[in-house]
A = this chain, B = another copy of it.
Amino acid sequence: MSDETLHPARIGVWFVGARGSVATTAVVGALGVSHGLAPATGLVTELPELDPDGLPDLGALVFGGHDVSSQGVPKKAEALVAGGVVPAAVVSAIGAGLDAIDAEVRPGYVAGEETATKAVERLAGDIADFRERHGLARVVVVDVASTQPPVDEPDHVVDLDDRLPVGAVYALAAFRAGAPYVSFTPSPCLRLPVVVEAAARAGLPYAGCDGKTGETLLKSALAPMFAMRALELRSWTSVNLLGGGDGQTLSDPEAARSKTVAKRSGLDAMVGRPVPGPMHIDQVEDLGEWKTAWDHVRFDGFLGTRMTLQLTWQGCDSSLAAPLVLDLVRLVAAAHEAGRSGPQPALAFFFKDPVGGTEHRLSEQWRDLVAWRGGLGA
């Protein structure tokens, strides 16, 4: 009698950026929720519309990944406790689990330190080895590493060579190892010809880009309201204050450019024309793991009356991102099992800048997601 009939298949989760805030919060949460130490709040795949029973259990997930940092997952978890992101009680209860996960983290790829070709081979080997050592049914690779700057002519990126952006190297490695891929970052990756073709050759599903967690989420719920009510958006100003590792990365204007492009596109698409208004992403050190976003929306009503909506969003980005990462793993694993391949536009619900799709309105994305999930079966 095989192991498989005794318990459901175990699924690997391989994080690029395994020692970062999002990855660590996801790991703490998966262990915490599956051990009954915390409720399933924030996990979209626990909603009845997505039929959770037919998806891999949180308890069936096995974690590992790549990172370039030497600060381990347990240390990061401590920092997240101090920052109010994850509860002290949960972390202390699952401490041993975190040590085990950190032992599964392998050195990441640093451009210049090895050739891209070698890197793809080495990284793919790490992923395959992880799958085999743990007897996993499949491994889903998720990029939650620091945001990379955009490339100048994405359409010309057709070859595996040393100019290949970091994210693409990881995607190629995943595909080489037979693993589906999720890009949770705005780093250039899933639209590059070299990546698209590798995925097609491998027949693997993939999804991205850039998790939709904060004010872009709000925009995707609110911009349709203005459109449905024939109210005229005159300007939409967005200010994001954030500390933390992500804030630090984004205080580099080059990296921030990837982000602001991802954030802008959706609004203009939903409104059907460019909506003016500045967009700022500012590093405010003392905010730590928290973000405050202020949006100022000017719209005209009947007979040109000038009206305003202001939003202040105070959220913890890692807490918003982590459950979505777990949702994506469960859904992409199910899609892989169901034999799906290529971009999965029905997962647009999770992304600021969905690959393979053009729908940005949250409710329509939700409807698409539910329908797609239904199509996968149990």
Contact = CB atoms under 8 A, between A and B. Distances in A.
Interface of A: 25, 28-29, 32-33, 38-44, 46-47, 84-88, 90, 217-218, 221-222, 224-225, 228-232, 234-235, 237, 239, 241, 276-278, 280, 282, 284-287, 292, 294, 296, 298, 300-305, 307-316, 319-320, 322-323, 349, 361-364, 366
B287 A298 contact: yes
A127 B237 CA distance: 44
B316 A301 contact: yes
Given A28-B303, A38-B304, A280 B239 contact: yes
Contacts of A234: 286
Nearest to A285: B276
Contacts of A29: 302-303
Contact of A84 (B278, B305, B311, B323): B305
A91 B298 CA distance: 25
B304 A87 contact: yes
Interface on chain A toward B: helix, strand, loop, or mixed SS? mixed
Those 9 A-B pairs whose CB atoms lie nearest each other, nearest first: A363-B363, A42-B302, A305-B319, A221-B225, A234-B286, A278-B282, A310-B312, A301-B319, A307-B315
Nearest to A28: B303
Give the number of copies in the complex.
Answer: 4
Contacts of A280: 239, 278, 280
B230 A323 contact: yes
Contact of A303 (B38, B232, B311): B38
Identify which of A85, A276, A285, A286 gathers the most chain B CB atoms within 10 Å of its CB.
A286
A204 B301 CA distance: 32
Given A276-B285, A316-B301, A42 B229 contact: yes
B286 A315 contact: no
A84 B225 CA distance: 24
B85 A235 contact: no
B307 A42 contact: no
A160 to B, nearest CB: 37
A88 to B, nearest CB: 8
A237 B228 CA distance: 25
A231 B29 CA distance: 15
Given A284-B278, A298-B287, A303 B237 contact: no
Nearest to A38: B303
Contacts of A277: 284
B303 A320 contact: no
Nearest to A223: B221
A93 to B, nearest CB: 12
A298 B286 contact: yes
24 contacts: A39-B232, A41-B231, A41-B304, A42-B229, A42-B231, A46-B230, A84-B305, A218-B225, A221-B225, A235-B284, A235-B285, A276-B284, A280-B280, A284-B296, A292-B308, A294-B294, A302-B323, A307-B314, A307-B315, A307-B316, A308-B312, A308-B313, A312-B312, A363-B363
